Amino acid sequence: MTVLAPRPQAGGALPLPAREPIESLPVLMLAPHSSCNCKCVMCDIWKDRQGLDLSVERLKGLMPELERLRVRRVCLTGGEPLMHANLRQFCDVLRDAGIGITLLSTGLLLERHASWLGESIDDVVVSLDGPPEIHDAIRRVRRAFELLARGVAAVRTALLTPHGPRAAASFSTSCDSAVNRSR
């Protein structure tokens, strides 16, 4: 978890900056949970077995700072955010403050959480490494591709009404997002 350094105090060893070093932070990357449910070959986050949550109460305590920094969107990253013990309540705190939410996910737990994600999350970005056998080999998780596909389908189904999609939640893969944001 990234913790912001305390603000320099007058009379301290370091000279005070002329202005606040960070006045605005429109997009905040936040890791609600420290562990992951994949074991990707290019990463060592999964070696964290502590499974630490950033608690809802701790988030509430940080909200004045998010307001001061005029945070407009929080990207939930990790580890795997859906491994948090109460991510729905965590998201409620952000939504109540008018902050948009993007979920970055391995997709393995999407099916389990599909019923509430469409109402609480604006965008879901899933990591997709290639066809099933390549994706599963990189993730080092059996049936990871299949679970991801089922999760995406479940969230889409949860959003459907007889008149079309119920909410504006959208999906993209991490490759799509990288391309779109570079335009």
List interacting residues with ligand SF4 (CB under 6 A): 36, 38-40, 43, 45-46, 78-79, 106, 127
Token duo for residue 75: 């990207």
Residue 126: enclosing H or E segment and its boundaries? Answer: strand 123-126
Q: How far is the CB of 102 from ligand SF4 (least distance, A)?
A: 15
End-to-end CA distance of the chain: 30
Pick between residue 25 and residue 45 the one whose CB is nearest to ligand SF4.
Answer: 45
Pick between residue 59 and residue 108 the one whose CB is nearest to ligand SF4.
Answer: 108
Q: How far is the CB of 105 from ligand SF4 (least distance, A)?
A: 8
Pick between residue 45 and residue 62 the one whose CB is nearest to ligand SF4.
Answer: 45
Q: How far is the CB of 103 from ligand SF4 (least distance, A)?
A: 13
Pick between residue 128 and residue 159 the one whose CB is nearest to ligand SF4.
Answer: 128
